[in-house]
Each structure stands twice: as C-alpha cells, then as structure tokens.
Amino acid sequence: MTRVTILGSINVDTILQIPRLPKPGETLAMSGKQVAGGGKGANQAIAAARANAQTAFIGKVGADANGKMMLDALQAAGIDITQITTSNYADTGEAFILLDDNGQNSILVDGGTNQEIKIGDIDTAQATIAAADFLIAEFETPLTTTLAAFRYAKSVGVTTILNPAPAKTELDPELLTLTDLIVPNETESETLTGIKVTDETSMNAAATALLQQGVSAVIITVGAKGAYYQTKTEHGFVKAFKVDTIDTTAAGDTFIGALSSQLNKDLSNLDTAVRFANKASSLTVQKLGAQPSIPHLSEILADGDIQKA
C-alpha cells in the first residue's frame, strides 16, 4: 500500500448554484446551495485515501463547528489526523463556490487557519513525513512552511509532489529544486514558465522549462482534454475520459490524490498512473461538490476501463 502525507489546506465549501456569473451591479437568484468539505489539501487526501493509499495529513483547523466537521470527515475517510492541530486564533478556512449551469466554477477563499501552519508544525510532523512514500503540498498554505517540509522530505528520501495552485508569480527557486513531480494545470504552468499552453508542442516547451528549473518530472493537466507528462527521458499525452460534466470542483485535487495512490516511488509508471487519475477525475466532475464527489477505488475500477497501476 502506498503511503502518502499531505501538507495542505482544510476548508468548508459553500456551493452557490447560479445560472451564470452576475454582471457588475446585477442581482441573480440562486437555484441551490450546499455546504460540503473542501480545501485543496483535504480534497487530495480524501482522494488518495479513497483510492486505497495509507494517508496522513498535516494541517490546522479552528476551534469551531467547521473544524470539528472537517476533522470528523477526514477521520471517517481513514486519514491519520494526528498532525492536524487546532488554533484558538483563527477560524477554519472557508471557500465560497459560484457554480454555473455549465458546471464551471469561480471560487472565493478565506484561508483562515490554513495560513497559520508554521515551520514548527513541520518539525513536530517529521516522523509522519519520514514514514511516507510521497509528500504532497499546494499553495493554499504558507510557502515557507512548504519549503521546510520539502527540505526535510528530501533529506529522508521521501518523493515530493507539488501542486502549484492557486497560481503564484513569486516563488522561491529552491522549492522547484526540491520538487520531484510538479502538477500544474495550463494556467499555473503559464504563470510559472511564461509559455501559453495550447497544444502538445507548447506543453512540451512548458514542461521542458520546468525541468530546467530543477524539477524531476512534470504533469500538466488540461481539463477535459487530459494530461501531458514529461521527464528527462520520456513524455506522453493521456487523453481524458469523455463524460457529462456537472461540477468541476475538486477535479484537479482528485487527479493528484488518485495519482499518488498509484505512483511508483521512482515515478517510473507515470503513464498508467495518469490514466488512473484521469478516470478518478472523470467521476468527480459528474457529481456536485468537492469531497462528496470524490470516488472510491471500487468506483474507479468498476467498469473495467482501467486497472490499478
């Protein structure tokens, strides 16, 4: 069983269903409202755990009802929550998701306790990191903390996976040299490289630029089209599964969590792991909400389209 540790965000999502984004000054009636667990880190952890990875989490919640709700949800998913601490100074993170009739979303985030994760939390969690095959992080928590976590992970032979989302223009170059696998979407890739991703040629150029910045391997996800992967010795494009999309929330997070559950520690099976992750993502977008839509291993394998990597 693959062992995955996530350093990341924990949010409670409020999903507001609307026909389209309102124009400035316009009032629109909602067609629905739901509350569900979210946060990029928590989504990725649940995706990994439901795909049968042994999963642990490093994070922070508030001493509030949302914090209790999320701790209960993560524990129910079989995730080790020993390294999730409770803050008395900030509320649990929240996201407000505007979901239109086409299944596309716009998201507003209040980071809350996610911004309170400190280097000291990494020091406390060293045993949890060292016990993992993979350490995953994204950009909804402080970058200084992620840098410290990746430094330690590399020192003990743990493979690092970075999801550079939400996109940031200012990035410590050392972080990329400590990253074994980076997984941006096309927008995040362009932010990091300045290369607009439009086709496989531009994907190759962007991935090459990231390799030159020090990462060992790259996967660029391009939504309903699929995902492009590249290392120093191989590259390829894995097409997405064609489905009717209801809600794209957590599709990228599901991809990363599911991917990590299938990857070899040396990243030698990227092609088959990406195909598995594409399948998991295709199931997520067919349901409403972030964590409620993330599939279990049995669902991913149910129709025989794929096998475990």
Per-residue pLDDT, 2 = 97
Q: What is the pLDDT, as a whole number, of residue 250?
A: 87
**Residue 42 counted as an annotated binding residue:** yes
Q: The whole model's pTM is what?
A: 0.94
User: Which residues fall within 8 angstroms of residue 17, CB to CB, at 6 or more apart?
Assistant: 30, 31, 32, 33, 34, 99
d(CA 116, CA 142) in angstroms, rounded, equals: 8
Give pLDDT, residue 47: 98
Averaged in consecutive runs of 10 residues, what is the pLDDT profile of the chain (309 residues)?
Answer: 97 93 93 91 97 98 97 97 96 93 86 97 98 98 98 98 93 96 96 95 97 97 96 96 88 97 97 96 88 93 74
Domains and CATH numbers, the chain: 3-7+40-92+114-301 (3.40.1190.20)
Task: State yes or no: 92 annotated in a binding site.
Answer: no
Q: Report the amino acid identity of residue 74.
A: L
Residue 247 annotated as binding site? yes
pLDDT of residue 204: 97
* Separation CA 237–CA 248 (nearest Å): 21
Would you name the residues annotated as active-site residues?
Answer: 253
225 in a known ligand binding site: yes
158 is in an annotated binding site: no
